[in-house]
A and B are shown apart, each in its own frame.
Chain A
Amino acid sequence: MNIAVCIKQVPDVPAIRIDPSRMTIIREGVDSIINPLDVIALEAALQLRARHGGKITVLTMGPPQSEEALREALAYGADEVVLLTDPAFAGADTLATSHVLARALSLLAPFPDLVLCGRQTVDSDTGHVGPQVAEELSLPQVCGVSEIHLEGSSVVVKQVSEGLIYTLRVSMPALLTVSPELTLPHHCPLANLERAFTEQTVLKWSTRELGLSPDEVGLAGSATRVWRLFKPPPRRKGEVIVGSAHELVEQLMEKLEALSILDEETGSE
């Protein structure tokens, strides 16, 4: 089965700081990484390929430095990687981004049986791109899958939603977004990294190769605008107590009483 994985290069979020004067992200000294859930999607693709064969194509829309993320994807084991890059793509919201990705996917020959993405990114957090790509390509979608199994011309997936586990059959071609429970990424062998950077190639497509006009993409092709950015109000900081273990546990018990945690019928039900 052929699989396409859409990834995004994002800042390493725990290292992120906000510039309070300009209300923008301070990017200096912050590493760019593959969005963690996208790595999980790629790992899932690798596991499917190991069982069923096929080709894995990884795509990303981003500035030229996103090539780094694609080479890392090659090191993980992707067969082919495509960088969708063009100054016209800047400022895109998810509507415009999904348009570019969908167009690129439609140019893959053969068309993939599965398109995988992370459920959401650690920077924008929207989770919109997957469903919007699926919509443009008229693919059935399931978001937040925790298991994927191939069964003939369908995949059977598990999705946990509001306390229920759904087992769904999805006919291919389909788009799935993955949740963290699906798998853990393996560690990249260094030899693969070396090869990914020195021997392998990255395809680069701009508006020309994609057959898109500038008003369909980037800021021009977006429906939303950001008016301003600001930091949320700080969370309360409570008291910090030092003392003997007994004193501390006493305080803890008092707090539990105050919250009525100990009143309820607790224990197994």
Chain B
Amino acid sequence: MNERSYSGIWIFGDYRNYFQNRVTLQLIAKARGLARTLKTEVTVLLLGDHVHQYAMEYVAHGADVVMVVDHAALRHYQVETYTKVVAGLVAEYRPEIFLAGATPFGREFFPRLAKRIGTGLSADCVALEIDPESGLLIQTSPSFGGDLLADVVTPDHRPQMATVHPGVFEEQPHNGSAMARIVYPQVEIESDDRVQILRSRAEQKGKVRLEDAPVVVAGGRGLGSREHFDKLFELAELLGGEVGATRPAIRSGWAGNERLLGQTGKSVKPKLLITIGTSGALQYTTGVQGSETIIAVNRDPDAPVFKIADLGLVGDARTILTLLLEKLRKRL
């Protein structure tokens, strides 16, 4: 493989949930810096059906080129269909670096694509830099739930591929007068219908959407009983959030498995996490430590949960929760 024949930084345009999901724009901003170092361009690859408005957004946020494949068969994200199209484009245009947001689709699609191409891929990166000596992309990827970081490189295969954690980089502001090239490569599209979408619906109210909640209220064994745990639901309602639970609370039957936070449950990064009666075992904290602000309540002043809290309150979980609800009911 001749590395010199590959050039350019590509970004997969993940436009689903465009207004909440800003990761493509964040990647464009980061890629512009990398592109300056490598003296090359940033191209956003956009696949979909009637997606021209996103192409314009990408231009306004800093793309040098937007490559658009607009076709009815690409209406829904579909791994096999997309893999075929994109692999073909990569073979033709030979980008040196190819990035995607580590969204659920990105994390499903990019490994398959990397395997089809036969190149290396790092996951959920929290940093990207060009190594000054070798010119390689240094991809910083977390492991052990974020406890250990690895700097990974792909020395001999191209493109160098990585999925990137949303929220790590900052997007450039919208610039309505930015200019860029928009290209429409001719591609043969074959729909793979071995996976068919029968229906999709929004998760209903009452269905837990912990990952999207701006506020998460979590309870653990320190709440003592189902009766006290149930008070978390009122607290969540008052604060506009959702209820999560630790494994001991779920094992005690106080909540269903869909509320499990932590290593084998959900990872949440809400604006605010209030964690009550949880000791802060590592299996739990790996799932919540990314929250912007953490308030913890525990009667043990040495509970590990206080190590990750911005505000720690040493007291009985049940008493504090009951009192807090009283005050909030009056206030709101």
Contact = CB atoms under 8 A, between A and B. Distances in A.
Contacts of B315: 242-243, 245, 248
B314 interface: yes
Interface of B is mostly: mixed
Contacts of B157: 223
A180 interface: yes
A97 to B, nearest CB: 11
B149 A232 contact: yes
B154 A255 contact: no
B197 A168 contact: yes
B232 to A, nearest CB: 14
A223 B311 contact: no
Nearest to A236: B310
B209 interface: yes
A223 B118 contact: yes
A156 B332 contact: no
Contact of B289 (A98, A130, A230, A235): A235
Interface footprint category on B: 35 or more
B123 A128 contact: yes
A222 to B, nearest CB: 7
Interface stretch (B32-40, B107-115, B177-185, B221-229): B107-115
Interface of A is mostly: mixed
B115 A163 contact: no
Contacts of A125: 123-124, 142-145
A245 B320 contact: yes
Interface string B105-149: 101110110111011111110100000000000100111111111
Contacts of A142: 195
A134 interface: yes
Nearest to B250: A184
Contact of B194 (A16, A156, A170, A240): A170
A12 to B, nearest CB: 10
A242 B314 contact: yes
Interface residues of A, number: 84
B283 interface: yes
A264 interface: yes
B240 interface: yes
A67 to B, nearest CB: 24
B150 A131 contact: no
B311 A238 contact: yes
B212 A168 contact: no
A93 B207 CA distance: 37
Interface string B264-281: 111000011010000001
B203 interface: yes
Contacts of A225: 152-155
Contact of A248 (B274, B281, B294, B313): B313
15 contacts: A14-B263, A16-B144, A95-B114, A98-B115, A135-B112, A165-B207, A166-B200, A167-B200, A171-B194, A225-B154, A245-B323, A248-B320, A252-B295, A253-B324, A266-B237
Given A135-B111, A142-B195, A168-B196, 9 more contacts: A13-B263, A126-B111, A128-B114, A128-B123, A168-B195, A180-B265, A227-B138, A232-B147, A243-B315
Interface of B: 16-17, 20-21, 79-80, 83, 103-105, 107-109, 111-112, 114-116, 118-124, 126, 138, 141-157, 192, 194-203, 207, 209, 212, 215, 237-240, 257-258, 260, 263-266, 271-272, 274, 281-283, 286, 289, 293-295, 297, 301, 306-316, 319-320, 323-324, 327-328, 331-332
